[in-house]
């Protein structure tokens, strides 16, 4: 008998054999591109800590989504930056707010050819930068008063044309509150993608520059999940599904692939993974120094997230990846 008998390299010998044997596919249709729209600017404003990303105007976001649709990207998720902030974050449910304007323009332009997801949070809209109403007592944020406001925001986003509402503030009961508000207002068909396993991560830094949403004091550790909280994340996912989440998210993605894997195996709803701003910035920073090959690193990052079990990937790489994979 010749040695070794098991020669796995036989199926890796040529590009054609490797292609035939590839276990996980990458496709633009799984990708969700995060986009920022800012009120009161005339031209798009580049975001230094997120190379290639900008704060959009309404016309520029329409143009950007046109390119993404053309490239086959499955969905976009919108974040708004209002001209004025206040203690309650009332810009978030303004019928003429920046996200509502963008949603209406995108729906008009693209009809049902792209999925429109609206991120639902108050941190971009409050003057203190927290994700809900400040509490009187020891808690930073008043959970239950915040839920009422989330309901209003969800309804205004649905009215403006969102297919999916994605609450990212990690308040307890947010899915039930939003589901109830949507159903009452005549939007039973609008879906909820819950940021269920959202960890209090150091990797949101560039996003907070982009969304102008860093908390003015304190931190988000009393509402976002602890980075060591594997079981805490599973409990939270279970709860959000019980409250009616149509899909759930794990965030960040790369640093929490173990959580992603487990959520995929235990639950049957679609699972999204958010490759966050810091994960994107890391790859770009290394590539700028010539320490990594950008395209190869990008594809490997996205492949790892798919392999761990993500159905959908929220990523700032969406456009570059779609271009690379098409070519």
The token pair that represents 260 in the structure block: 């992603």
Of 265, 267, 285, 283, the residue nearest 275 (C-alpha): 283
* 319 given a catalytic annotation: no
In sequence order, which ranges of 74-173 are alpha helices (DSSP H)? 98-110, 143-160
Of 170, 168, 165, the residue nearest 189 (C-alpha): 165
CA 274 to chain centre: 5
Q: Residues 6 or more apart from 36 whose CB is under 8 A from it?
A: 47, 53, 54, 55, 56, 78, 79, 80, 81, 210, 211
Residue 110 or 196 having the CB closest to ligand PBG: 196
Shortest separation between residue 79's beta carbon and ligand PBG, angstroms? 7
The token pair that represents 14 in the structure block: 């040529």
The token pair that represents 147 in the structure block: 């839920």
In sequence order, which ranges of the chain are alpha helices (DSSP H)? 15-21, 58-70, 98-110, 143-160, 174-184, 205-211, 230-242, 257-266, 277-288, 294-308, 318-326
Residues forming contacts to ligand PBG in the complex (CB under 6 A) are 119, 121, 123, 131, 168-169, 204, 207-208, 220, 276-277
Shortest separation between residue 208's beta carbon and ligand PBG, angstroms? 6
Residue 154 or 276 having the CB closest to ligand PBG: 276
Residue 110 or 278 having the CB closest to ligand PBG: 278
> Is the Cβ–Cβ distance between 124 and 79 less than 8 Å?
yes
Largest CA distance in the chain: 78
Shortest separation between residue 102's beta carbon and ligand PBG, angstroms? 16
Residue 64 or 119 having the CB closest to ligand PBG: 119
On the question of a cis peptide bond just before residue 79, with omega within 30 degrees of 0, the verdict is: no
Shortest separation between residue 67's beta carbon and ligand PBG, angstroms? 20
Residue 71 or 254 having the CB closest to ligand PBG: 254
Residue 150 or 207 having the CB closest to ligand PBG: 207
* 251 given a catalytic annotation: yes
Task: Report the distance separating Cα 180 and Cα 279, nearest Å.
Answer: 34
Q: Residues 6 or more apart from 21 whose CB is under 8 A from it?
A: 11, 12
Task: Report the distance separating Cα 197 and Cα 252, nearest Å.
Answer: 9
Catalytic positions, please? 198, 251
């Amino acid at each position: 008998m010749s040695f070794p008998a098991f020669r796995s390299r036989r199926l890796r010998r040529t590009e054609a054999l490797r292609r035939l044997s590839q276990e996980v596919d990458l496709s633009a249709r799984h990708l969700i591109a995060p986009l920022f729209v800012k009120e009161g600017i005339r031209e798009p404003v580049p975001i230094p800590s997120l190379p290639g990303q900008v704060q959009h105007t309404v016309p520029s976001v329409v143009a950007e989504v046109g390119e993404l649709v053309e490239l086959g990207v499955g969905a976009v998720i919108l974040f708004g930056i209002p001209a004025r902030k206040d203690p309650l974050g009332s810009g978030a449910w303004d019928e003429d707010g920046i996200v509502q304007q963008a949603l209406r323009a995108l729906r008009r332009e693209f009809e049902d050819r792209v999925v429109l997801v609206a991120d639902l949070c108050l941190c971009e809209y409050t003057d203190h930068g927290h994700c809900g109403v400040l509490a009187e007592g020891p808690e930073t944020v008043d959970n239950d008063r915040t839920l009422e406001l989330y309901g209003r925001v969800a309804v205004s986003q649905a009215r403006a044309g969102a297919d999916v509402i994605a609450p990212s503030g990690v308040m307890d009961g947010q899915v039930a509150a939003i589901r109830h508000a949507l159903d009452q207002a005549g939007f039973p068909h609008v879906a909820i993608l819950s940021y269920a396993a959202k960890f209090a991560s150091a990797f949101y830094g560039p996003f907070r520059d982009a969304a102008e949403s860093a908390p003015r004091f304190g931190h988000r550790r009393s509402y976002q999940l602890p980075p060591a909280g594997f079981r805490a994340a599973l409990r939270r996912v279970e709860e959000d599904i019980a409250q009616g989440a149509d899909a759930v998210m794990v965030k960040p993605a790369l640093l929490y692939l173990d959580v992603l894997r487990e959520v995929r195996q235990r639950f049957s709803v679609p699972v999204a993974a958010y490759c966050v701003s810091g994960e994107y910035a890391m790859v770009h920073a290394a590539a700028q120094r010539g320490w990594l090959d950008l395209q190869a690193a990008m594809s490997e990052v996205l492949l790892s997230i798919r392999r761990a079990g993500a159905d959908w990937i929220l990523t700032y790489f969406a456009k570059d990846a779609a271009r690379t994979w098409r070519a």
